[in-house]
Structure 1
């Protein structure tokens, strides 16, 4: 075996793969990554380390693509005599790569159709993505405290972060805040917020600040610090949002995020005037929320295809419908979420966004959850969640995966709504359907709120609005019977007080 070759069969991903995975490989195991002829010792050492690192986690099914891309990168490095990768200027190196690609007749970009969303989008070529990956790997490790960097790796913070487990967010990126002083002010503020705010809230604040930064960069380049802001600057920004931007229909939540950041910058740097920049009437009124739902016929058509999906994904989607929970709460059901008491199943809902509560479910739902638990335990052993990622069972199913698979199925099977329009799928609509059904059964508002896991009655009127069945005298007996059933269920909930 030559020293300048790393064979596929030497890589950890191959050694630890099952026989079935090896047999399904799209590449011969004796193929190798060639290190011969690289233009410098440094480049060779970096690429060798990069390949071995990739070999630890790369799926066998991806090796063919990886090898082809690597071979082209190797040719580029040799022909353009790139002798330095460590801490190289990434944009300059990528520009050299693009020039080489033009010489070789390789496309600088391509348009890719994304069936799940029925859109065609520009795609960065694999060669550019791979070179950026190598350059990132070659960077000298930054030994500064994480909060001092411009890109934070969330796993490196020692305190717990309130994140949504079904969304795979690993970093916070401050590089798009264009003014260096503002970037540092925001980093200090976000670091404090990260300790007590949900990660989703942090992202909203970051989006708001980045938009404001772009505005300042174009309209007020002399402003280099949030501490210099005046009421006039805020009014100019409000006018800009109202008259020139088209990114959103309503900037209410965006402005509240910006306000939180600016006011906390004022608290940190003792600039009290920053706490007075926003007035109550600066914020647009809350947009009227249009609750959408599916008809029973549409649900039936959709479910007939869901039943033919991967069995565990199908279980997750059916359980989701039957529980009426948010998708984040369904996908984060724990292995200890189910208990049996007096012949009845109770499921504990650990809401990501709100309270933890418990509610009774039918025997059928209980058995379905048990079946999902058995499936996971049989394949992955002891896990925290019922529905887990195949490549990382420590994490639950990711929302993006569920969404993409269902959207792809809708387009492939041409599933349409009652108006003949291609179905626009959103998992939260199942929750709307669940709430609507409760209103059609004429259940009291407080009980609907409890069944949906709401702290208050505030949202119940939305479900009332979309319920289209009118109460009649002949339904009274049915309603009273349902009330008795649900009251009996309520009595079994831990911590409930009438």
Structure 2
């Protein structure tokens, strides 16, 4: 390839090299970020010697596009993967990169990696959970990103692709802001016709169902399709299913499948997909594939609670965490909300009526409701809002991501921070086991306290944001059996400790 000069964004450069400092992410970075980067001029995305102009143009556009979306440090970490892929493409003389050929190209890449002595899997120690996870190597992940990017000019609609990028859909999605779900992948469905049928139905569901429910449907359908591939390879369409096949699958779930303890919700998701495929293709007989007795009985739901001593130890350490994270966790306990509702509290959630503070809670999974709160809780919320405004300006949410203030705290971040704190301080439960933290347990504790205060079921349901009384009896049953009256003074003391910390927070340094 001859080296030529060309113009991009008013800057002349050699077209076979792209340096980090030329990309938008670096130009828009703060001086502090640039100092931390220590960008070396001898590290760059190398486009020299690629087998075809088509491949070179694709990779060049891919890098410039990534430069608009990623942080400079994230992009810098991709240079090694990119340049190894360049070497692979040159040595294997691959002149066309198409998403449709992904399986073939990935196999070729793995073969090349073996020749070069690269591992086909990587191990990553996750200190938070003290496990060693097996992961796909970064070079393979990066190759898949390039292949997915190659679809951009393919001319097909997003719903026709095998991997949907959710931000490409123009209609609003019912996503959970604290969960970072970006794609839906259908490639685990090997039967081409079934994959097409499922995509048709999921696209319809996408317009009115929550993303979490849709992901559950896709997981359930993939599991079923793997079973079909193994036991009924001649079945290529969901319209070919029979009652005998469904009964065989039910037996398999009861006797052989080990992925989950209970497949009740899994089967409901699969039924929605299968029956809507029947509705779409006007095959009403498909509704006869499932009967009510197919679904396991609802598993006995045992609410988990923290003991008073555990809550006390946990909160003593929470107070030492990042200031805004600590505030979020304290509010989570005092409000009794789901964690998704705590982290998506909006900066205009407070109001005053008749000299009392009220908070508006827009539940991600359910209804929006208001409830009265104490002046102390209101002041904690106001402090949280002031902190965010001081650091990030006007925002939609109270608790926001540092690198993207338009989004709220992500649950994975919060969970990891708390688990790190638990391991660092060796916080253990009553049995001496390292504490297995779950934010929803705080909600259970809140509900249990309400039952001990002899509040009627409808009021408890309203305070918890429930539409019905269905779950209230769980709180009342456990509250009466486990939490005796003599422990109430201890719990009240813990609440007082929380409020004392809130009052003194102005002098609290992180």
TM-score in same-fold range (> 0.5)? yes
- Residue range with higher mean Cα deviation, 320-329 or 184-193: 184-193
- Residue range with higher mean Cα deviation, 416-425 or 404-413: 404-413
Task: Return the TM-score normalized by structure 2.
Answer: 0.86
Structure 2: how far apart are the matches of 1:300 and 1:29?
53
Aligned match of 1:101: 113
Aligned match of 1:409: 421
Aligned match of 1:493: none
Structure 2: how far apart are the matches of 1:34 and 1:275?
56
Structure 2: how far apart are the matches of 1:300 and 1:165?
30
Per the TM alignment, residue 430 of structure 1 is displaced from its structure 2 partner at its CA by 0.7
Deviation string, structure 1 residues 96-151 (Cα, Å, up to 9, x no partner): 33333333333332211112222211122222222222232234533233333333
Aligned match of 1:400: 412
Match among 119, 130, 133 for residue 145 of structure 2: 133
Deviation string, structure 1 residues 272-315 (Cα, Å, up to 9, x no partner): 22222222222111100111011122112112222222222221
Cα distance, 1:294–1:53 mapped onto 2, change above 3 Å: same
| Contact 1:40–1:83 (Cα < 8 Å) also in 2 | yes
Structure 2: how far apart are the matches of 1:415 and 1:87?
48
Structure 1: how far apart are the matches of 2:383 and 2:150?
46
Cα distance, 1:440–1:15 mapped onto 2, change above 3 Å: same
Structure 1: how far apart are the matches of 2:48 and 2:158?
38
Match among 382, 390, 394 for residue 382 of structure 1: 394
Structure 2: how far apart are the matches of 1:109 and 1:473?
55
Aligned match of 1:491: none
Cα distance, 1:348–1:34 mapped onto 2, change above 3 Å: same
Q: How does 1:252-331 map to 2 (within 5 A)?
A: 252-331=264-343
The alignment status of 1:61 with 2:73, answered yes or no, reads yes
| Contact 1:176–1:210 (Cα < 8 Å) also in 2 | yes
Structure 2: how far apart are the matches of 1:206 and 1:439?
38
Q: How does 1:73-84 map to 2 (within 5 A)?
A: 73-84=85-96
| Contact 1:7–1:32 (Cα < 8 Å) also in 2 | yes
The alignment status of 1:50 with 2:62, answered yes or no, reads yes
Aligned match of 1:335: 347
Deviation string, structure 1 residues 40-93 (Cα, Å, up to 9, x no partner): 333332232222222223223334422333333333334444433355733333
Per the TM alignment, residue 249 of structure 1 is displaced from its structure 2 partner at its CA by 1.7
Aligned match of 1:225: 237
Cα distance, 1:364–1:123 mapped onto 2, change above 3 Å: same
SS at match of 1:245: coil
- Tell me, which stretches of 5 or more residues in structure 2 are unaligned? 1-12, 488-510
Structure 2: how far apart are the matches of 1:54 and 1:79?
25
Structure 2: how far apart are the matches of 1:88 and 1:317?
46
Aligned match of 1:478: none
Q: CA RMSD in A?
A: 2.6
Match among 445, 453, 458 for residue 465 of structure 2: 453
Q: How does 1:347-386 map to 2 (within 5 A)?
A: 347-386=359-398
| Contact 1:116–1:407 (Cα < 8 Å) also in 2 | yes
Cα distance, 1:94–1:190 mapped onto 2, change above 3 Å: closer
SS at match of 1:462: helix
Runs ≥4 residues deviating over 6 A: 469-475
| Contact 2:20–2:72 (Cα < 8 Å) also in 1 | no
Structure 1: how far apart are the matches of 2:486 and 2:169?
61
Per the TM alignment, residue 18 of structure 1 is displaced from its structure 2 partner at its CA by 1.2
Structure 2: how far apart are the matches of 1:434 and 1:472?
15
SS at match of 1:89: helix
Cα distance, 1:472–1:420 mapped onto 2, change above 3 Å: closer
Cα distance, 1:29–1:327 mapped onto 2, change above 3 Å: farther
SS at match of 2:450: helix
| Contact 2:341–2:361 (Cα < 8 Å) also in 1 | yes
| Contact 2:21–2:39 (Cα < 8 Å) also in 1 | no
The alignment status of 1:207 with 2:219, answered yes or no, reads yes
Deviation string, structure 1 residues 358-398 (Cα, Å, up to 9, x no partner): 11111121111111112222232222211122222222222
SS at match of 1:164: coil
Task: Return the TM-score normalized by structure 1.
Answer: 0.88
Aligned match of 1:85: 97
Deviation string, structure 1 residues 7-50 (Cα, Å, up to 9, x no partner): 33222222111121112225436743333333433333223222
How many residues in Structure 1 have an aligned counterpart in Structure 2? 476
